[in-house]
Copies of this chain bind each other. A is one copy, B any other.
């Protein structure tokens, strides 16, 4: 395999396999992509190929308008959503989509995930947004492209910054997450799934559980992400 995109394909392949190793997907129910900003292309999982048989060479290279640049397989059916996000959000380096259990269940319940604790605040200061299902004409039209529009509309309406909130639920569908690279998008997918399960259990134990108070939200987010952050090396 001699390709100028060899390392991009490998990054994408590793991130997809990590999704599987973390128990976030069964069968082909998920996909991760990784972008190459210099060449304005991204690498994405081929559609419907099981993780057990996936190889780095199977990864497909497409441009932001979803034209296949390199690869023999058809890219993920969700490719247009990935492409739209790369085009509009210039700081992101990777995108992940799954049907992970607890994230999907909140999406099907059409509810934002309330910020209940420091596990959540270590990663973002907002409730995790659940975008409403799209209007019928958008679903019947260019569906996956419009899913991207729906994500940006939700962020605009709620005045959220994609650099700070790196995840969303699409109502009745499931989670999308992103980050500086594909590995971070997968990490955010796992964090979202974990926080989703914690919030579900919290409400079962105490349906009146309060949101985390502002001082704790700020403290935990700042110690990990603020300018005086002291978490990590």
Contacts and interface: CB of A to CB of B under 8 A. Distances in A.
Contacts of A200: 201, 204-205
Given A47-B231, A106-B205, A200-B201, 5 more contacts: A73-B233, A74-B232, A74-B233, A99-B119, A109-B206
A156 interface: no
Nearest to A143: B219
B110 A209 contact: yes
Given A119-B104, A215-B139, A233 B111 contact: no
A48 B116 contact: no
A108 B172 contact: no
Interface in A50-65: none
Contacts of A209: 108-110
A176 interface: no
Contacts of A148: none
Interface pairs A-B: 7 shortest CB-CB: A48-B232, A109-B206, A105-B201, A109-B205, A108-B202, A108-B116, A136-B215
Interface string A30-61: 00000000000000001111000000000000
A102 interface: yes
B107 A233 contact: no
A203 interface: yes
A205 B201 CA distance: 9
A190 interface: yes
A174 interface: yes
23 contacts: A28-B232, A47-B233, A48-B231, A74-B233, A77-B230, A77-B231, A101-B194, A101-B197, A102-B201, A104-B117, A104-B198, A105-B205, A108-B198, A110-B206, A110-B210, A117-B173, A117-B174, A118-B173, A136-B215, A139-B216, A143-B223, A172-B216, A200-B204
